Amino acid sequence: MKDGFDMDQAYWQKWGQEIDKYLRDMDEFGRTKCRLCGRYKFTNDVAICMDCSTSILPLNLAF
């Protein structure tokens, strides 16, 4: 325990891997690669571009 915090190393290692994956999928203009179509666009928090997210929106509303 250091300064009142007991950090879980596995938790922070997981976040480090997620950040590395996010940066690896980013091009020189700061656009991320869409996980559905694979094109480099400005994406939302779940890394799906607006074109793909609007096309799958009716599927999300069905549930």
What's the total number of domains in the chain? 1
Q: Is the model's pLDDT at 5 over the cut of 70?
A: no
The pLDDT score that the predictor gives to residue 26 is: 74
Three-state secondary structure readout of the chain: CECCECCCHHHHHHHHHHHHHHHHCECCCCCEECCCCCCEECECCCCCEHHHHHHHHHHHHHC
- Domain limits for position 45: 10-62
In a domain, 21, yes or no: yes
Reading the block at residue 19, the tokens are 């950040």
Residue at 2 is within a domain: no
Q: What is the CA radius of gyration of the chain?
A: 16
- How confident is the model at residue 18, as a pLDDT? 74
Kindly report, residue by residue over 6-63, the tens digit of the pLDDT: 567 788 788 777 777 666 677 777 777 777 787 877 655 666 777 777 665 554 444 4
- pLDDT reading at 4 higher than 50: no
